Amino acid sequence: MNFRLLLVFFILFFTVYLHANDTNSNLIVKVCIKGLCNVKEREILSVMHLKKGKYYSVDDAREDVRSITGLEFFDDVEFSYDESNGTLIFVVKEKPYIERIVFKGNSMFSSSKLKDTSLLKEKDYYSVLKLEETKQKIINLYKDAGYVDCQIEVYPTIDKDTNSMTITFIITENNRITISGIDIKGVVSFKKKKILSILKTKAKKVFREQFFKADLEAIQAFYKDNGFVDYEFISFSSMYNESRTKIFITLNIKEGKRYKIGFVTYEGNLVLNESKLKKMTKFKKGQIFNQRKIIETIRNITSAYYDNGYLYVDINPKFNKTENANIVDINIAIVENSLVYVGNVYIDGLVSTKENVIRREIILNPADVLAITKFRKSVEKIYNLGFIETVEPQILPTAVYDVFDLFFSVNDGRPGSITAGVGYSSIDKLIGSIRLQHLNLFGLGQKLNLSTEFGSKKCNFEVDWTEPWIFNRNVSLILTVFDIERKRDYGIIANAYNEHRKGLSAKIGPRISDSVGLLFGYVFEHVQLCNIDNRIEDGIKNDFDLLKNKTASIFGNFIYDTRDYIFDASRGTRQLVNLQVASTFLGGNIKFIKGITKSTWFLHTFWNFVLSFNIELGMLASYSDQKQTPLYERFYIGGDSSVRGYKYRTEIGPVNGGQVKSVANIEYKFPIVSDKGKSILQGVLFYDIGGVWQNFKNINLSFGSKEENLHSGVGFEIRLITPVMPIRFGWGYGLNHKRGEQLLHFYFNIGNVF
């Protein structure tokens, strides 16, 4: 028994001894870096896995070699391990350190400009590849300026003691070459002037190779868009003058025959029927063959299939020419392939926002058909939350052929802000404001807004709280408390009376679909008109019984909204119908019905230029024993948010407001400064039309300066686009002013006109 215990003890001791002896042989006692000259040792150690106190392994050492090489400081890295003393040695061969970069012979471009162009930089490490790329970039720079014969020689010198380098570029610029003329041979069907007008390469300008290549493509596109299916570019030749300062260019082309379109047929389409395909087809039988329209048609059909989940669709147009009749039949062959489905939906990058806040805006779920329109719409909906800085969406393939994962990298930015400022408004004059705003309260997507404004003509306090998904359903709840006091003008009398409103409102609305929503609400407010100028008592005497009132009303909104980005739309439409009813049954003492309808359209034209239209109609009427509508509920226009170029309330329509209004706006906005595809600063040209009338009988649709006439204005705005609302600076010029009124108005405001 004792012998067995002794044997077990001996085996255990021997095993531990062998293990300890083996491990100790691999223990790193010291790490030594040899060959360093300009690189600090700590930069290498910071990327290494193997360090003093760890155990050596060949695989880990090779991985460290890859990490050290990745620093791009070295041409070669080798390693060895001395088992006798536990020393790990890395021997590096440093790249030369660039001390200076010198340019000689350059007069067209400054040395600082050439240094900016260079990929090699002073206080960096030498790279043969970067040197060759730098030479090519500098040559291209000279070629673009007309120095086609520019030559560059490079002389690197190395101080072996310090391994530092001076790189000298010797530039021989030679002559600047301009184009003396261009001739195109083979042009039969058009005037040469027509073809030459297409080119960016023109006489008296310098020859630029990149422009010339684009010109050859432009000529080909022109011919193929005008029926010349067999067009060919044959050759290009150039001839210099004796001093080699001028170049004459000759192009040889072959037009071929001009074709018309014969039969248009479709093949392989099961998902989309022929009538739908015809609507997307931009060409018809009998028309001149047009390659651009064919490409546009293929793009339209492809997009339609993508919207139906067929991401593997393959569309190939086939052309069958009848040369003796100059006819080409077009067959659009479609291979639909299988539907594609959504796998997993991943969201990454969130800091403060709960994931479900983003996920509920994504309208594609696992196992859904992957429709590209829904994918794009999901991105738009995430941006429309208002507090998202960037969204980077990806469609990622999986191991399953017809399943793709969706990945959304979301930067939720800083949703909270405190702002204070001073501004000027054409309505309220000089104003100060303090606003505490949080667009993502507790990371739940809730919005809280506390704001106060004060100035010579207004004093406001307002608190808004919005829950966009009440009880985790697609229903919004908005609660508001407000206290607003403003000095109102009446005709030519400034500050004729004070209008003081205080109250609360509650709104709730379901979103029926991505584009259709309803909003219902209750508003209770105490309204008081005070400090009335005695000169206007006769003008509003019919309203004296309404100077101090409690208005309780309910309203309903129908909203149809397909805008791509609600804070700065570039395409889509918004339709609004609002009906408000005030009644004594609701807790007030005022009775009226107010209806407003608004139709807005945004059309993307070219680049990021957007044309928009807006039409707004309004009607107000009292009912039952209420004889007059309240002065403060009537319609007024002018100022910076309806018909610009006129004072608000006092220069268009009756001085005491009207019960019927009509406003139309046309805007053309264009980017001035953009970042990551989004406008930061915009310019806007506008034309506004509007009128206000006592009743329908007074409506006059002719333009003029009288009270019952339509008024119009034109102008220009600068808009600073913020994550929440645009800040607008504008100038409006009224076209139908009365004599003595100011024609040009400057204004400042926050928020969209429509």
Domains and CATH numbers, the chain: 2-94 (3.10.20.310), 97-172 (3.10.20.310), 178-254 (3.10.20.310), 260-335 (3.10.20.310), 341-411 (3.10.20.310), 637-754 (no CATH)
Q: What is the DSSP string of 162-173?
A: TTEEEEEEEEE-
pLDDT value of position 17: 43
8-state DSSP, 325: G
Model pTM?
Answer: 0.65
pLDDT value of position 490: 83
CA 496 to chain centre: 45
pLDDT value of position 541: 59
- Please provide the distance, in angstroms rounded to a whole number, between the alpha carbons at the two ends of the chain: 98
pLDDT tens digit string along 10-46?
A: 555 444 444 444 444 588 888 999 988 888 888 888 8
Strands 610-621 and 660-675: antiparallel
pLDDT tens digit string along 314-343?
A: 999 999 998 888 999 999 999 999 999 999
pLDDT value of position 674: 81
**253 closest CA partner among 272, 236, 275:** 236
pLDDT value of position 196: 92
Q: Are 620 and 590 in contact (CB under 8 A)?
A: no
What stretches in the chain show pLDDT beneath 50?
1, 3, 13-24, 544
pLDDT value of position 16: 46
pLDDT value of position 362: 93
pLDDT value of position 1: 47
The 3-class SS string of 713-739 reads EEEEEEEECCCCCCEEEEEEEECCCCC
Phi, psi (degrees; rounded to nearest 5) at 734? -80, 135
Token couple for 607: 């680049």
**162 closest CA partner among 100, 90, 72, 96:** 96
Strands 429-441 and 446-455: antiparallel
pLDDT tens digit string along 432-466?
A: 667 787 888 888 888 888 888 777 677 888 999 99
**288 closest CA partner among 334, 257, 247, 266:** 257
pLDDT value of position 736: 95
